[in-house]
Amino acid sequence: MLKLRRFLKNYKMELILGPLFKLLEAVFELIVPIVMAKIIDNGITKNDEGYILRMSGVIVLLGVCGLAFALTCQYFAARCAYGFGTELRQALYSHINKFSHSEIDRFGTSSLITRVTNDSVLVQNGVNMFIRLAVRAPFLIVGATVMSMMIDMKLSIILIGSALLITGVIVLIKRITLPRYKKIQSGLDRISLLTRESLDGVRVIRAFSKQKQKTQELDDDTDLLSKACIKAGRASAVLNPLTFMIINLGIVCVMWFGGVRVDTGYMTQGELTAFVNYMNQILLVLIVLSNLIVIFSKASGSALRINEIFDTIPSISDGEGAQPDMSAPCVEFHNVSFTYLGASGLSLDNISFTLKKGEVLGIIGGTGSGKSTLANLIPRFFDATEGSISIFGRDIKSYRQDELRSLMGIVPQKAALFTGTIADNMRWGKQDADETEIKAALDIAQCSEFVDKLPFGLETHIDQGGKNLSGGQRQRLTIARALVGKPPVLILDDSMSALDYVTDLALRKALKEKLSDTCVIMISQRATTLKSADSIIVLDDGKAVGAGTHEKLLSCCAEYREIYDSQMN
């Protein structure tokens, strides 16, 4: 938790005033038993009704003031805690967005979502309760102990002994529960992962009639999470009964020995009543403190998980910035090799090529041959293990990441659209793109024919993930989005797989005619799609086993000829 205190720097006033008002409330609470003692000794004993009414008014006044201070503290605590939570989530989300694909893959999407949402809320609650109770509880315990010692030193030994026993119980329970709450958060990660997979793949699950199997998987993991919660709950549940038992036994001892001291004249009835009130105050505070320990245990476990994110340094950092030389080749690979973290072999092995302005490079190969890996190295989603990559005469590591990616339009394998209008999605590549630019991109991507038929045209709303569009429509819109702004480098990572041959041909023809200065890297499983490319690289198990034009590869590359013949047949 201490590592996250930097997010409280804008709430210093709330951090001071919140506990201060809670402290004032606690002071008034400590005064009440003394007033009660005076009412008993001076009012009830002497049958002085006026005195009783006056002192009762004092108790009411103390209660009203205590309530006002408590509400003021709640206000400052809420401002501080929710402000802290907002800044924490913003920083956490911003830090995660700096991660390369390697770090995102290592943590997992579901775990990152749980940490940004559930874990940050638990830490936020911890801050809230800290402001409200962390000062008040110890002060009341110490204050009540001191006041009881002032009333009777010998009886206070019972109170101190009870408090020490309860403190020992609290420490023991915390040691037991903290690891269990960490396990619960890991269980939530697993539940989030299964839920996300099931919802994303609901069509596949239904196609294979695997609903019962996936439901059983979720039931099993939910059951494990339930058992972990029950174990942690059992340990926490012991806390309150033990606390009650120790304090009540202490009260019995106080009443027993206190009665003797009243009989012998060492104490008055009012003082004994005040002493018991102070002991009850300690009881209530320790019960609150025990619940506070549970909240802090959860917050501490979540804080460790959040700090794990902040302590992870992104493997890809920005360069100092570079000015591209637009006369230089668009893309150059110099003996590039790449290995995924934890993988046993190379995913790409000694790849070299040069792509000039206006040229089209096709990349083809079997599944797992490294095509998408090659595409991911160009915008620095990963860094090459060996060799170097240049864009317009500058090493990609010398560019800032936003500079580098502004030079290219990227269309990933999975067509991803976002909630909003078609126009909103089109402006991802260029925020100030006007309607003319958007329509030009839609024409090239062969989207105009269906966009123009939509009731609201460019203002048509797109559901999450583009669920209200067909696969081919989504794919064409993602291509159009990359074309807005006419980037000098265009990467199409198997992004025409959902298109029919006629639309595929029309799209390639439009790219060649209307974006003649753009260099295109086109990854595809279809040999026909790459047939007209200026050069084609054939990948097999991460190695370039052939390079050249379609005709050259047919004559000298057995792997390419095998792919082409199998598709043509």
Nearest-angstrom CA–CA distance, 323 and 214: 52
Per-residue pLDDT at 90: 93
**What's the residue count for the chain?**
569
Nearest-angstrom CA–CA distance, 376 and 338: 11
Output the CA torsion sign for 322, 328, 329, 334: negative
Q: Give me the residues paired with residue 543 across strands.
A: 349, 540
Nearest to 389 by CA among 358, 355, 413: 355
Residue 475 has pLDDT above 80, yes or no: yes
β-strand pairing of 386-391 with 519-523: unpaired
Contact between 392 and 324 under an 8 Å Cβ cutoff? The reply is yes
Using one digit for the tens of pLDDT, what is the confidence trace for 485-521? 888 999 998 887 777 788 888 888 888 888 888 899 9
**Higher-pLDDT residue of 241, 116:** 116
Helices (H) and strands (E) in the chain — how many of each? 21, 12
Residue 196 has pLDDT above 80, yes or no: no
Q: How far apart are the first and last CA of the chain?
A: 65
| 294 Cβ contact list (under 8 Å, min separation 6) | 177, 236, 239
Mean pLDDT of 268-287: 80
Using one digit for the tens of pLDDT, what is the confidence trace for 373-404? 999 999 988 888 899 999 999 999 999 888 88
Contact between 83 and 168 under an 8 Å Cβ cutoff? The reply is no
Residue 553 tokens read as 């590869």
Contact between 525 and 459 under an 8 Å Cβ cutoff? The reply is no
Q: How many percent of the chain have pLDDT more than 90?
A: 13
Using one digit for the tens of pLDDT, what is the confidence trace for 123-174? 999 888 888 887 788 888 888 888 888 887 878 888 788 878 877 887 787 7
Contact between 240 and 285 under an 8 Å Cβ cutoff? The reply is no
Contact between 521 and 495 under an 8 Å Cβ cutoff? The reply is no
Q: Count of CB atoms within 10 A of residue 5's CB?
A: 11
Per-residue pLDDT at 526: 83
Angle between helices 269-310 and 239-263 (to 10 degrees): 160
Using one digit for the tens of pLDDT, what is the confidence trace for 46-92? 777 888 888 888 888 988 988 899 899 989 999 999 999 999 999 99
Per-residue pLDDT at 6: 86
Mean pLDDT of 225-247: 79
Mean pLDDT of 522-533: 86
Contact between 514 and 507 under an 8 Å Cβ cutoff? The reply is no
Per-residue pLDDT at 405: 87
Using one digit for the tens of pLDDT, what is the confidence trace for 451-469? 888 888 888 888 877 788 8
The three state secondary structure string of 195-208 is HHHHHHCHHHHHHC
Is residue 548 helix, strand or coil? strand
Could you give the domains of the chain? 2-186+235-310 (1.20.1560.10), 320-407+488-569 (3.40.50.300), 414-486 (3.40.50.300)
Which helix (H) or strand (E) segment holds residue 297: the answer is helix 269-310
Contact between 243 and 173 under an 8 Å Cβ cutoff? The reply is no
Per-residue pLDDT at 72: 92
Question: What mean pLDDT value characterizes the chain?
Answer: 85
Residue 268 tokens read as 């008055």
β-strand pairing of 394-395 with 386-391: antiparallel
**Higher-pLDDT residue of 325, 233:** 325
Is residue 420 helix, strand or coil? strand
Output the CA torsion sign for 211, 214, 217, 222: negative
Per-residue pLDDT at 208: 77
